[in-house]
Copies of this chain bind each other. A is one copy, B any other.
Amino acid sequence: MTTTRRERIRNNTRDEIKAIARQQMVEGGTAAISLNGIARAMELTSPALYRYYASRDELITALIIDTYNALADALEEASAAHPANAYAQKLFDTSLAYRAWALTHPTDFLLIYGNPIPGYQLPSEQAMAAAQRVYAAFLGTMQAAYIAGFPPKRATHRTLAIELCPPLSEHPEFQIDPVVMIAGIAGWTKLHGMVMLELLGHLQGAFSDYADFYRLECRHIMEDLGLSLDMPPLP
């Protein structure tokens, strides 16, 4: 775990490369990530970058992994603000954090959940694992609530749920009940749809306050999950 001076410098440079790539994305979308451009910004020649990333694709993979992790961190932080048994509060705040993170990091969000980057094929096991952290931030709390005796209100019948959503035998340490899985993904897809459409401007002009709409729908999701918030009810 000890890092030499050289390793530290090297890691800093790797970070700087990623930071500039992120900046490029902000300015021109994911397609604008360019080694030549990064080299220019760093006052290097472009072949020098190949010391740090073997190719453009490898850089993109690193960006994607970091992005999943950053989003997952934000969600976990929101969840951790409440005690373990405050399921509703945890999920509600996690949901708000999902939108908040997406709106403050729009290009990062689109990097992972938007169009695939042309010519890029993400192969990495690591990326899959990082992506799972995001789902886990929602599903973990839901599963805990389920075990504690709060099943989803409109739960799918167990036999049907098992058929539709066969338990993953690969990761037994991360077992989510199929009933929870279906209800959880149903909730997540709704959050995702709202965020995606708002982010890309497809709801423009519909609402006076998007945060209010989102909160309203989050409450409905909580109701569907059979979890009640310690909050004043809606008028």
Interface residues of A (CB under 8 A from B): 28-32, 110, 113-119, 131, 154, 156-157, 159-160, 163-166, 168, 181-182, 185-186, 188-194, 196-197, 200, 202-203, 205-209, 212-213, 216-217, 220, 223-224, 234-235
Contacts and interface: CB of A to CB of B under 8 A. Distances in A.
16 contacts: A31-B31, A31-B118, A113-B200, A114-B115, A115-B115, A115-B200, A156-B234, A164-B208, A165-B207, A182-B213, A182-B216, A185-B203, A185-B213, A189-B190, A189-B217, A190-B193
A189 B185 contact: no
> Mostly helix, strand, loop or mixed at chain A's interface?
helix
A29 B115 CA distance: 8
Contact of A118 (B32, B157, B163, B234): B32
A216 B114 contact: no
A177 to B, nearest CB: 13
A160 B110 CA distance: 32
A21 B232 CA distance: 53
A8 to B, nearest CB: 35
A219 to B, nearest CB: 10
A157 to B, nearest CB: 6
Contacts of A159: 235
B186 A220 contact: yes
Nearest to A195: B193
Contact of A192 (B119, B165, B197): B197
A184 to B, nearest CB: 10
Contact of A29 (B118, B165, B168): B118
A157 B234 contact: yes
A216 B30 contact: no
A29 to B, nearest CB: 4
B207 A164 contact: yes
A157 B202 contact: no
Given A114-B200, A185-B206, 8 more contacts: A29-B115, A131-B202, A157-B234, A164-B208, A164-B213, A166-B208, A182-B213, A192-B193
A165 B206 contact: yes
Nearest to A162: B208
Contacts of A114: 114-115, 200
Contacts of A217: 186, 189
